Structure 1
Amino acid sequence: MHLENFIDHTLLRPTATGKDIIQLCTEALNYNFYGVCINGCHLPLAKDLLKDSKVKLVSVVGFPLGSMSTKAKVNEAMVYMEQGAHELDMVLNVGWLRSGDYMAVQEEIRQVKEVVGNNVLKVILETCYLTDTEIITACKLAVNAKADFVKTSTGFGPRGASIEDVILMKKAAGNRIKIKASGGIKDAVTVQNYIDLGVARIGTSSGVAIVVNQN
């Protein structure tokens, strides 16, 4: 299996420089990664570097905490779509979810999806902060709001993806929404394990090492 077809080659460190983004995009082109996942301020540079290629531009909204206003997330999404993003990964409002304010969570996702339109919206659950019941609820809200993916983690929480989380998300979402696993994924065996569970995308900063050592 060509693991590179599943990978969003990721660099979300706040200290990332233009030189770092150039390296990321060069690697994405050289290894045929599905996409690059970057902070919004780097979209114009990455768009120029990846023009005329098949590599998708993926950026993040409400990152990494998810606790800003809905209006702020919607406006951020609008700007990034205008700058050429193909896909957006937005952080769910964990505080609202844990408070039981489910309609606010769903409506926020719906409004961002409205901006994203026919492009892909992934909802980051940040599963490390959630109970099993909350993970299931979050998946259902994302489905109801017409998001395209649910995603495990930002990579900035106390832990990243886990097999247990993905199994739970798959059970909750079924085939109604896709799953992206991210956070702490560093080797080809782990990637393959997630793909075998039905994960459609992998977010990792270790993409080069993964594809080089996949055989």
Structure 2
Amino acid sequence: MNISQFIDYAVHKDSVEKEDIIALCNNAEQNNFYSVTIPSSFVSFAKQLLKGTSVKICAIIGSPLGNDSTNSKISEAKKAIQEGAFEIDMTINLSALKKKNYIAVLRDVNDVKLAIGHTVLKACIEITQLSKNEIIKSCEICLDTNVDYIKTSNTFVRNSATLTAVKIIRKTVREGLKIKASGDIKDYETAIKYLDAGAERIGTSSIIEIKEHSRLLNNSKIYKQYLESKNKTNLTTKKETSFI
């Protein structure tokens, strides 16, 4: 089991240039990360750089506070998908959430998901801006839509991912949604802790070393789940083979 396939690699900068995207894509390819998370304006450029690799592209829209109109988010998402984005990372409307205009938040997320169809949608709730009750409410709203992931926050926000928040999200959504823990995750040990807490994807701007950590991985919850899943698959295969 290699945790590199849990990693969404991003740039830790407010202002991103082409040189940053080149370095990002090169590092992602060399380390076999699952995807690069980039501003939607760079999707076409990144697609050229990643041609022939297995690294996927996740386009950021509606960042940083999600206050763009729904139509604007839909337009940006559709264009990104046409240019090569495999996933969409959208910030929910935090202003509307703060004002308890929950219907507006739900419609915003739901309309974007309907517009992009089967494309994976990650709803970023930006936990640094929310109270515990607001985190729970945003999770409940996301459950009522067809989003695929709840993302804790933008990668460039410091101290934005917390184990407590991931546990709150997991307790709220149970198995209904996947979780992306993002921001200030810089090493292998921390990444494993988030995966064990319930995250299925890690957003980071650091090149997390994946070597020489076999003992830590073997003792982790995520590795035990991986082994259980692998064993179930093998048993199913054996049963199907016995009927042939």
* In structure 1, C-alpha distance between the alignment counterparts of 2:191 and 2:41, rounded to whole Å: 28
Pairing 1:10-159 to 2, within 5 Å after superposition:
10-11=10-11, 13-157=13-157, 159=159
List runs of 5+ in structure 1 lacking aligned partners. Answer: none
Shift of 1:17: 2.2
Moved more, 194-203 or 156-165: 156-165
Contact 2:152–2:161 (8 Å) recurs in 1: yes
Q: Which has the larger radius of gyration?
A: 2
| Contact 2:126-2:154 within 8 A present in 1 as well | yes
Identity among equivalent positions (%) equals 37
Distance 1:28 1:214 in 2: 20
Detail structure 1 runs of 4+ shifted over 4 Å in the superposition: 212-215
Aligned to 2:232: none
The yes-or-no answer on 1:170 pairing with 2:170 is yes
Residues 27/157 of structure 1: CA separation in 2 closer, same or farther (3 Å cut) = closer
| Residues 3, 214 of structure 1: 8 Å contact kept | no
Which residue in 2 is equivalent to 1:210? Answer: 209
Secondary structure at 1:64 match in 2: coil
Q: CA deviation at 1:214?
A: 4.5
**AA at the equivalent of 1:143:** L
| Maintained 8 Å contact 2:65/2:95 | no
Distance 2:107 2:173 in 1: 18
How many residues of Structure 1 are paired with residues of Structure 2 in the alignment? 214
Shift in Å at residue 163 of structure 1?
A: 0.6
Unaligned runs of 5+ in 2: 215-244
Give the Å deviation of 1:102.
0.7
CA-atom RMSD, angstroms?
1.5
More RCO (CA 8 Å, sep 6+)? 1
SS at structure 1 position matched to 2:192? helix
Over 3 Å counting, the alpha-carbon distance change for 1:8 and 1:197 in structure 2 is same
CA offset digits 1:95-116 (Å, max 9, x no partner): 1111111111011101111122
